[in-house]
Amino acid sequence: MASSTSDLKQRFITPDQTTKTTTTNDDDKDKNGTINHKRDKRMAMAKRGLRSLIIALSFPFSITLLSIYIASSFTFSNHNNQSITSSTKPFWFPPSWLLHLMLPSSTFFMALSAWLVWAEGGFHRDPTAFLLYLIQLLCTVLWEPVVFGVGATSFGLLLCLGIFGSLIGCMYVFGKVNSVASDLIKPCLAVSAFLFIVNLKLIYM
């Protein structure tokens, strides 16, 4: 009788334990599945973000380098180089390699700033931000071929004003979306102001 009683107890207890164990396993599987899904989703977002960052940085940087190459290959560049390297050049006037370095650096910072704004949906909320960025990029790309290639220093001065004005606009609009993006524009403003002074000096040289 004692053994029969214990067998009955085991029969009543075992199904409950099995149900609890099955439920616990199912819950663990659901949790693990949810965690894995979230991890995969974050990895996919990170990959897309990295891909968009590479494109956002490489495209403006590449076309700026291309404009420098075009400027150096123009037939009018010899006359401009003689003017720049003449004895009338002031002591503070930068060498040509430094000028070639300043524009791509400014383009890089602006591209990074624009990407930060785009990542937070700033271009969708305010298309003016994207328009100002395009104006700045266009003026930056055109400046060196116009000034050092064609020798149109007066038109280059207008481009400098366009760069500076669009940067001010970008700094104001980008600041509403991301303060870091706005801070990244400050070195670009310094570069554009210096290019304006250089361009102004070239007119009188």
Distance CA(83)–CA(202), nearest Å, equals 8
Annotate 59-94 with b (16+ C-beta within 10 A) or e (fewer).
ebbeebeebbeebeeeeebeebeeebeeeeeeeebe
pLDDT over threshold 80, residue 18: no
pLDDT of residue 15: 54
pLDDT of residue 160: 94
Answer whether 130's CB lies under 8 Å from 166's CB.
Answer: no
- Identify the band that residue 85 occupies on the pLDDT scale cut at 50, 70 and 90: very low
The overall average pLDDT reported for the chain is 78
Answer whether 87's CB lies under 8 Å from 158's CB.
Answer: no
- Identify the band that residue 163 occupies on the pLDDT scale cut at 50, 70 and 90: very high
Distance CA(34)–CA(29), nearest Å, equals 8
pLDDT of residue 75: 43
The dihedral formed by the CA atoms of 154, 158, 159 and 162, expressed in degrees to the nearest 10:
170
Q: Which of 200, 95, 79, 198 is nearest to 149 (CA)?
A: 79
Q: Model confidence over 51-69: pLDDT tens digits?
A: 888 888 899 999 998 988 8
pLDDT of residue 97: 76
The better pLDDT of the pair 89, 179 is held by 179
- Which residue is it, tokens 């890089």? 108
pLDDT of residue 96: 73
Among the ranges given (57-61, 82-86, 178-182), the one the predictor scored with the smallest mean pLDDT = 82-86
What are the extents of the domains in the chain? Answer: 57-204
Answer whether 136's CB lies under 8 Å from 163's CB.
Answer: yes
Distance CA(151)–CA(81), nearest Å, equals 10
pLDDT over threshold 60, residue 158: yes
Q: Model confidence over 182-197: pLDDT tens digits?
A: 999 999 999 999 999 9
Q: What's the mean pLDDT in 109-122?
A: 93
| Side chain identity, residue 39 | R
Answer whether 111's CB lies under 8 Å from 138's CB.
Answer: no
pLDDT of residue 30: 55
Question: Full-prediction pTM beyond 0.85?
Answer: no
Token pair recorded at residue 142? 């055109």
- Identify the band that residue 31 occupies on the pLDDT scale cut at 50, 70 and 90: low
Q: 151 in the Ramachandran plot: left (φ > 0), alpha (ψ -120 to 50) or beta?
A: left
Residues belonging to the chain: 205
Q: Taking CA 162 as the corner, what is the angle to CA 82 and CA 63, rounded to the nearest 5 degrees?
A: 65
| Side chain identity, residue 73 | S
**Three-state secondary-structure class, residue 126:** coil
